[in-house]
Every structure is written in structure tokens, then in C-alpha cells.
């Protein structure tokens, strides 16, 4: 198994720059997510790591070795394709053993490896069944089996669950993660689904328009987004932005929202101009004593919590509160922000200002 390092990797298709200079590291044994909206360059990045696409510039290292000149077949990695990409006319055993047989491995060794893989995947009982009669879950397991049987350095998966319905998708996501934990194999997984990335990943790279906006652990990215794009893309409802004109100085601990002083984590940089105060829906509380007020325009009941939409002088925001806190449409409500959890953004560039709370996790590409 192996660490994978991407250093200043760029990809142009003719005049179109699909991946901007990107740098990040997948540590040995990690379940690593490439996350971003459709067209942001996830597949292109994965294909460059795999050797299916040549970078325009930059270096890629697998297990410490520069692999730029190596073809996919020489990189010792395996792609797990979408679940139905199996040989339908072969049974399970032959599907799994195919990559070994085609590289000329001895029969006894093949049988041993297939038995090991079948045990890991818990599919010993279906080895002689035809693919055609299998459930979706078993087919996915066989597809994984065919990838892991070669014992490659790393696994690459490009939206492997994309075609599944929600319930089955969740089940297979859990199973892929559990399988990873049994094998400990470095895995790079592409998805556009932020929930899937948060639930499954050890680390996440968030991409947008070919740019690595941030990479880090799911909680780092959720708590301390490096950019407004990341803040909006992760979390549901997404982070609120209160847009204001103002300033924050080095060592500053407050911002003035149209005269309302709001305490924020101590700033490590200064900025004046268009700013945005970023606050997650669960970090806002109702407080009758607060002078910062807004009008309730909608209440969405979700069981234990509710989402209350409130019109403020800085725009519409969404607040997640316990359902027993009654809020009526048209009511004026006082609001408090959880000071420890606020992020101040430079609104012109979208970049988070560095503060004592987020320094250390603002890893940008």
C-alpha cells in the first residue's frame, strides 16, 4: 500500500484549463475523497493519478516514486468501476480471477487468492453462481473483489454508487467503508455528494472549477471552511453569510454588523472592505435580550429540530433550533451567534480570514 502525492499538477484540454495547479497528499491507508460539483475536475484528477491521462505539468508520486512516465498498467493501482461493469457470461469465481489469469498466474496461486478475497468480502457461498442472477449488492462486492485480488498499492473509485437508489447507496457506502477498514488499503474515491464524502472519508479534497479549495478531515472542513464555496457546498442547510462593509484588525475580536458588535475568534490578519460573517444554522440561538433582530418568514419542522428562515438586515438566514423553541411566522426574534464558531470571509475573494480558531486547518491547494 502507498502514499500518493500530487504536486502542482495541472491539466489543459487544448485551450481549456480543466485542473489548475493542484497539490495534496493521500496518506498510506487513507480513505480519501475527491469532492466537488459536476465538471470541477474530479475525474480528470483521478485519471491523472491512475495514469490514464497525462498531466500538462506537475508531478505525481505513488509510494515515494515519481510515476509521471509510467502507464496505468505499471502503476500497480486498481480501478473499481461502477457496479455493473462485470463479465456477465462468467460466474463470480471467473470474474474475480480474471485479472490474475490474464497476467499468467499459476492456477493454485489464483485459487488461493480468490479464496482470500471471497473471505474478506464474505461471498464464499456465491463463487459458482452466474453474475446474471446476483443482487446489486453482491455484484458490487464482486466488482470490488476483482479489483482487490491483484493486491494493488491503491484503489480508485469514480462515483461507484452513482447509479443506486438512496437506501441501497447508503448501505453500500457503509459496506465499502467497512471493507476498507478490514483491508487498510489506500483508497481515492470521487463523489459530488457532500454527505457521502463526510460520512465515508478520512480526508476530503474540495474542488471547484479545477481549483483545490481546501483539503482536510471532514470535521475541519465543516467547522473551518477555507472559502465561501466550501462553506456553501458542505452542510445542509449551508453556512449563512451576513454580508457587511467593515473591517477587522490583526488581533481583532469583534466585527460591527451595522453597529451591532459581534464577538469573533481573534483575527490573525487585517482586512477592510466587503466582509461576510459565516455562521452555521446550528450556531445561532434565539435570545429575547439580543438587539440583533430579524423577522421569521418560514418554519420547517424536522422532528427534533426545525429550520427557521429569518429575514435580517443582512439578508435571509436559516437557523436550526430545537423544535420546542416556538417561532411564529412574522414574529420579530432576537438572535445570538456562537462566537467560537464564526468565520469571517473576505467577500471579494471568498477566502476565509485566518483566525486563532481556523489557523492550521486552512490547507488550500
Binding residues for ligand ADP, rule: CB under 6 A, are: 13, 16, 18, 36, 38-44
Nearest distance from C-beta of residue 41 to ligand ADP, angstroms:
4
- Of 21 and 43, which CB lies nearer to Mg ion in the complex structure? 43
CA separation (Å) from 203 to 143, 189, 209, 292?
24, 10, 20, 37
- Of 18 and 279, which CB lies nearer to ligand ADP in the complex structure? 18
Nearest distance from C-beta of residue 260 to ligand ADP, angstroms:
40
Nearest distance from C-beta of residue 44 to Mg ion, angstroms:
8
The neighbour count for residue 134, using CB atoms within 10 Å, is 18
How far apart CA 240 and CA 219 sit, in angstroms, is: 18
- Of 141 and 192, which CB lies nearer to ligand ADP in the complex structure? 192
Helix (H, G, I), strand (E, B) or coil at 160: coil
CA dihedral sign, ordered 244, 234, 218, 1: negative
Q: Is 268 exposed, middle or buried (0-12, 13-18, 19+ CB in 10 A)?
A: middle
How far apart CA 175 and CA 136 sit, in angstroms, is: 13
Residue 39 binds which entry of ligand ADP, Mg ion, none, with Cβ cut-offs from 5 to 8 Å by kind? ligand ADP
- Of 20 and 283, which CB lies nearer to ligand ADP in the complex structure? 20
How far apart CA 359 and CA 201 sit, in angstroms, is: 22
DSSP string, 299-360: EEE-SSEEEEEEEETTEEEEEEEETTS---TT-EEEEEE-GGG-EEEETTT-BBPPBTTTTT
Size of the site for Mg ion (CB under 5 A): 1
Residue 29 binds which entry of ligand ADP, Mg ion, none, with Cβ cut-offs from 5 to 8 Å by kind? none
Nearest distance from C-beta of residue 40 to ligand ADP, angstroms:
4
Residue 281 binds which entry of ligand ADP, Mg ion, none, with Cβ cut-offs from 5 to 8 Å by kind? none
Nearest distance from C-beta of residue 82 to Mg ion, angstroms:
11
Residue 73 binds which entry of ligand ADP, Mg ion, none, with Cβ cut-offs from 5 to 8 Å by kind? none
- Of 224 and 233, which CB lies nearer to Mg ion in the complex structure? 233
Name which of residues 38 to 97 contact Mg ion (CB under 5 A).
43
Nearest distance from C-beta of residue 34 to Mg ion, angstroms:
9
The neighbour count for residue 62, using CB atoms within 10 Å, is 22
Nearest distance from C-beta of residue 264 to ligand ADP, angstroms:
34
- Of 13 and 84, which CB lies nearer to ligand ADP in the complex structure? 13
Question: Which cell numbers in the block locate residue 316?
Answer: 435571509
Residues in the chain: 365
Residue 84 binds which entry of Mg ion, ligand ADP, none, with Cβ cut-offs from 5 to 8 Å by kind? none
Residue 335 binds which entry of Mg ion, ligand ADP, none, with Cβ cut-offs from 5 to 8 Å by kind? none
Give the angle 135-137-143 at the CA atoms, nearest 5°: 105
Residue 318 binds which entry of Mg ion, ligand ADP, none, with Cβ cut-offs from 5 to 8 Å by kind? none
Residue 13 binds which entry of Mg ion, ligand ADP, none, with Cβ cut-offs from 5 to 8 Å by kind? ligand ADP
- Of 187 and 191, which CB lies nearer to ligand ADP in the complex structure? 191
For residue 146, cis peptide bond before it (omega within 30 degrees of 0): no
Residues near 174 by beta carbon (within 8 Å), at least 6 away in sequence: none
- Of 130 and 162, which CB lies nearer to Mg ion in the complex structure? 162
φ, ψ of residue 184 in degrees (nearest 5): 70, 25
Nearest distance from C-beta of residue 337 to ligand ADP, angstroms:
34
Which residues are at the interface with Mg ion (CB under 5 A)?
Answer: 43
Amino acid at each position: 500500500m502507498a502514499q500518493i502525492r500530487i504536486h502542482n499538477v495541472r491539466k489543459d484540454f487544448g485551450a481549456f484549463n480543466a485542473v489548475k495547479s493542484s497539490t495534496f497528499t493521500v496518506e498510506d491507508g487513507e480513505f480519501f475523497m475527491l469532492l466537488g460539483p459536476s465538471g470541477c475536475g474530479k475525474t480528470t484528477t483521478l485519471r491523472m493519478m491512475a495514469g490514464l491521462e497525462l498531466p500538462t505539468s506537475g508531478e505525481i508520486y505513488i509510494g515515494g516514486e515519481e510515476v509521471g512516465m509510467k502507464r496505468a498498467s505499471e502503476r500497480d493501482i486498481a480501478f473499481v468501476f461502477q457496479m455493473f461493469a462485470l463479465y456477465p457470461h462468467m460466474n463470480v469465481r471467473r470474474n474475480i480471477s480474471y485479472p490474475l489469469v490474464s497476467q499468467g498466474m499459476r492456477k493454485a496461486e489464483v485459487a488461493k487468492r480468490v479464496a482470500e478475497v471471497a473471505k474478506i468480502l464474505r461471498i464464499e457461498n456465491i463463487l459458482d453462481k452466474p453474475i446474471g442472477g446476483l443482487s446489486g449488492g453482491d455484484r458490487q462486492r464482486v466488482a470490488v473483489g476483482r479489483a482487490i485480488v491483484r493486491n494493488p498499492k491503491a484503489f480508485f473509485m469514480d462515483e461507484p454508487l452513482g447509479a443506486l437508489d438512496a437506501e441501497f447507496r447508503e448501505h453500500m457506502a457503509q459496506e465499502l467503508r467497512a471493507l476498507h477498514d478490514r483491508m487498510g488499503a489506500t483508497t481515492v474515491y470521487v463523489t459530488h455528494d457532500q454527505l457521502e464524502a463526510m460520512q465515508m472519508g478520512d480526508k476530503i479534497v474540495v474542488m471547484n472549477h479545477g481549483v483545490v479549495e481546501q483539503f482536510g478531515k471532514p470535521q475541519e472542513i465543516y467547522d473551518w471552511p477555507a472559502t465561501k464555496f466550501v462553506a456553501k457546498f458542505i452542510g445542509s442547510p449551508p453556512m449563512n453569510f451576513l454580508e457587511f462593509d467593515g473591517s477587522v484588525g490583526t488581533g481583532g475580536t469583534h466585527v460591527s454588523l451595522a453597529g451591532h458588535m459581534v464577538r469573533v475568534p481573534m483575527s490573525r490578519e487585517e482586512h477592510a472592505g466587503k466582509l461576510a460573517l459565516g455562521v452555521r444554522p446550528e450556531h445561532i440561538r434565539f435570545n429575547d435580550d439580543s438587539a440583533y433582530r430579524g423577522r421569521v418568514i418560514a418554519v420547517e419542522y424536522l422532528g427534533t429540530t426545525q429550520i427557521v428562515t429569518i429575514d435580517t438586515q443582512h439578508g435571509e438566514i436559516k437557523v436550526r433550533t430545537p423544535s420546542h423553541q416556538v417561532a411564529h411566522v412574522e414574529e420579530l426574534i432576537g438572535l445570538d451567534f456562537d462566537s467560537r464558531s464564526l468565520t469571517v470571509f473576505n467577500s471579494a475573494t471568498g477566502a476565509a480570514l485566518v483566525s486563532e480558531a481556523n489557523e492550521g486547518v486552512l490547507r488550500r491547494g
